Amino acid sequence: MIPGVLTVAGSDSGGGAGIQADLKTMLALGVHGMSVITAVTAQNSIGVQGAWELPVEAVRAQYRSVIDDIGVRAVKTGMLSSAELVETVAELIAGTDAPAVVDPVGVSKHGDALLAPSALDSVRTALLPVATVATPNLDEVAHLTGVRVESEDDLRRAAEAVLAFGPRWVVVKGGHLAGDAVDLLTDGSQEHWLRAPRHDNRHTHGTGCTLASAIASQLAKGQTVPEAVMAAKEYVTGAIAAGFALGAGIGPVHHGWNLG
């Protein structure tokens, strides 16, 4: 059977990030993608022009509809804009027997806020404790923990601060640092430093969604967390290298680059 993976995230009308990026990634990696839409955004290559959160009842109904009939081998979360949504999804994940990859989305690629400040504490106290893997970027680490990463030497301190909230593993994404694209994966005892060449390509919309979905896809296929993250890093690096122009701003990564 083809493993099923469920993404719980917002819709990106431009198709570069969010639910759309998640489902493309899952297809490219050979799993069956399913979705719980948490919000609808009016979004393109320039920015986010509007966002509308779905009612908690709609989110819960979508989740239960999939879990109760089809089941899942992994869950991935993305945009959860309010404390109520964060706490609801955390509760649902806690009752699901599958690994969960939490991408604590705070802002879009263009700098648009996608998480209410009042929801940050719910991410810390409810969502991160149920995560198998958390995948914050440096801005998200700063908002969640107060740790500012200026160099590779700070990545370990950032990871420790995120792990203190309870996820089993954390990937601190160092893509905003100078030099090679280096990420740190750790559970507090094991460390894996993941390096890739930095590609001179501005079209990187959807990178964070894509990485988290790729990790969830590999976990669903039975890989260990280190194996899944390493495979996901390789996939995302290729997608970034093949990113393409779309519209007048920042284009998306190419989710189908590996399909020939």
Q: Which residue is listed with tokens 């189908």?
A: 256
Active-site position among 208, 210, 243, 251: 208
Active-site position among 24, 76, 109, 173: 173
- For β-strands 191-196 and 181-186, DSSP reports them as antiparallel
207 is catalytic: yes
Distance CA 52, CA 37 (A): 11
Active-site position among 206, 233, 243, 251: 206
106 is catalytic: no
Q: Is 3 in contact with 33 (CB distance < 8 Å)?
A: no
Active-site position among 209, 221, 237, 251: 209
224 is catalytic: no
Active-site position among 145, 207, 210, 237: 207
Burial 170-184 (b: 16+ CB within 10 A, else e): bbbbbbebeeebbbb
251 is catalytic: no
209 is catalytic: yes
Active-site position among 204, 233, 237, 251: 204
**Which residues make Cβ contacts (< 8 Å) with residue 61, sequence separation at least 6?**
none
The token duo for 175 is 């893509």
204 is catalytic: yes
Provide the CB-side half-sphere exposure for 234 (13 A, CA): 8
- What positions carry a catalytic annotation? 173, 204, 206-209
